[in-house]
Structure 1
Amino acid sequence: MADTGDAGAGMRRFRPEGGGGSGGSKLKAVRDFGSNPGGLAMKVYAPPGLKPGAPLVVVLHGCTQLAGGYEASAGWTALADEHRFAVLYPEQRRVNNPKLCFSWFAPHRAARDKGEAASIRQMIETMTARWRLDRSQVFVTGLSAGGAMAAVMLASYPEVFAGGAIVAGLPFGAADGVSAAFAAMSQGRDLDARSWGDLVRAASPHEGPWPRVTIWQGADDRTVARANADGLFAQWADVHGLDADRARETQVGRLTWKTLGDAVELNIVAGMDHGVPIDAARGERAAPYMLDVGLSQARATLAFWGLERQAHRQAIRSAPSRARPAEPRQAPPSPPPAPVAATVEAVITKALRAAGLMK
């Protein structure tokens, strides 16, 4: 793993440029967004004619990925066109990490006002100011190392985010170095809920309210252990002052869905390995770590955040009852990568029963 420390990029005039890391990408590069202590690249998408006051979704790719490739598979820009929000794609650079992993496990690069976390915060500030976006509707999602980095951002800057989505990621504070990162990925870290929550509370001076968090994990993930999803659920339940053991659990097809009101939820997808669940029937595209299981994490997450209120129940309702044939196993990245209120739950339960998906 290459870790070059805090490489500054300097100040340049704001200038969007073409290029997103994949042919035909809608993403634009922005060179001037601050001192950039983490040495990251900034890629953005704003739908034509986007009005002031729109939300912002921050998307963090996984190891071996670039922003353009993630964008081409996950469908966030198509959703941005449909539901009128802006998208920010921070992008890791090979000079920092040859496998393009965010440095979620390095305290000097993944903490408030430090390294990559500070660079992402600068990107958010630049984008919200440039497009006059709604600062109360900023959200972050990420896969694997990007999911762990999303957890870093939620813990380090909780006042910035209204919600987060962590896919095949790890709890904040799960590791503080390379060896600890490998151990956490393979088996998790054994902490009780209060200890997990204390790590978040110690990461910033913020005292609440806290971001809403949805967590996604493949039941057959062979890269990041299931214990990490459970740790994330316990961590954010405790931060919200809730008891993870009192969660409501629903099973529909291959999806096990645990909720604590509208604050925290955990989604476990049976038969799925390491990656983002996507639905090719909705225009999303399968790729390494972008797994077509007939369930759209992006759409379900959008609805959990309240940006598209019907998508979550539609995604749950359409969850396939049988696992598709297993996908060829992909080699895991060699370095460490780097819910609804009770009344709404009742409505969803009623709809699922009417559709024959629940008894």
Structure 2
Amino acid sequence: MRSPTLPRRLVHLATAAALVLAAALTMLSPLAGTARAAGGLEQITGFGSNPGNLSMYAYEPAGLPAGAPLVVAMHGCTQSATDYHTHSGWQKFADAWGFAVVYPQTSSANNSLSCFNWFDPNDDTRGKGEAASVIQMVDHAAAQYGTDRSRIFLTGLSAGGGMTADLLAAYPDVFAGGAVNSGPP
């Protein structure tokens, strides 16, 4: 029987190294061995004056330590915060890496397709409308979860991506970074 070829040996070695690294990272995680919340998406009311007429939903992993990051995840048109939470994978990552997630939600009262109004200066400008509501959510969540304010991130899909770009431009003092997924240019 011939020995495996060099490329095959490298694949086996790389796979073994990846498994060892994954096990080590799991053991080193500050949340290792703690129970995770099942589902756990919570609607939050009273987060501020809410000039953009948005709803706030949040997910907090069990055992979230003080100083953990916060991710704001914005849904696309015709979606809801619940849809995005259920199908985006953010809960899995929040559980694995120890951060809270805030899901702003718009509605057909704001936009007939339930899109964030990333194109409207009354909603996408610092201190106005939907943009101001999202910042009120961030402030509320950061206080509630003891978030490290230098580790607040923002992401969005489609129209949520458009609003993500607007918020990153309008509030560079709030967000450490962000990513637009399938959003407008």
TM-score range, shorter chain: 0.7 to 0.9
Return the letter of the residue paired with 1:35.
S
Q: Which residue of 2 aligns with 1:12?
A: none
Q: Which residue of 2 aligns with 1:115?
A: 129
CA contact (8 A) 2:168 2:178 kept: yes
SS in 2 for 1:43: strand
SS in 2 for 1:97: coil
Q: Which has the larger helix fraction? A: 2
Distance in 2 (alpha carbons) for counterparts of 1:27 and 1:100: 20
Equivalent position to 1:91, from 97, 105, 109: 105
Distance in 2 (alpha carbons) for counterparts of 1:122 and 1:84: 22
Equivalent position to 1:35, from 37, 49, 56: 49
Distance in 2 (alpha carbons) for counterparts of 1:72 and 1:43: 12
Q: Which residue of 2 aligns with 1:26?
A: 40
Q: CA RMSD in A?
A: 1.1
Return the letter of the residue paired with 2:144.
R
Q: Where does structure 1 differ by over 6 angstroms across 4 or more consecutive aligned residues?
A: none
TM-score with structure 2 length normalisation?
A: 0.78
Q: What is the CA distance between 1:98 and its match in structure 2?
A: 2.5
Identity %: 51
SS in 1 for 2:121: coil
Q: Which residue of 1 aligns with 2:28?
A: none
Distance in 1 (alpha carbons) for counterparts of 2:39 and 2:110: 23
Return the letter of the residue paired with 1:151.
A
SS in 2 for 1:129: helix
Return the letter of the residue paired with 2:86.
A
CA contact (8 A) 2:125 2:170 kept: yes
Equivalent position to 1:133, from 111, 129, 147: 147
How is 1:99-248 mapped onto 2 (pairs within 5 angstroms)? Answer: 99-170=113-184, 228=185
SS in 2 for 1:108: helix
Q: Which residue of 2 aligns with 1:56?
A: 70
Return the letter of the residue paired with 2:65.
K
Distance in 2 (alpha carbons) for counterparts of 1:109 and 1:160: 17
Q: What is the CA distance between 1:25 and its match in structure 2?
A: 4.4
Unaligned runs of 5+ in 1: 1-23, 171-227, 229-359
CA contact (8 A) 1:138 1:162 kept: yes
TM-score with structure 1 length normalisation?
A: 0.41
Distance in 2 (alpha carbons) for counterparts of 1:26 and 1:99: 26
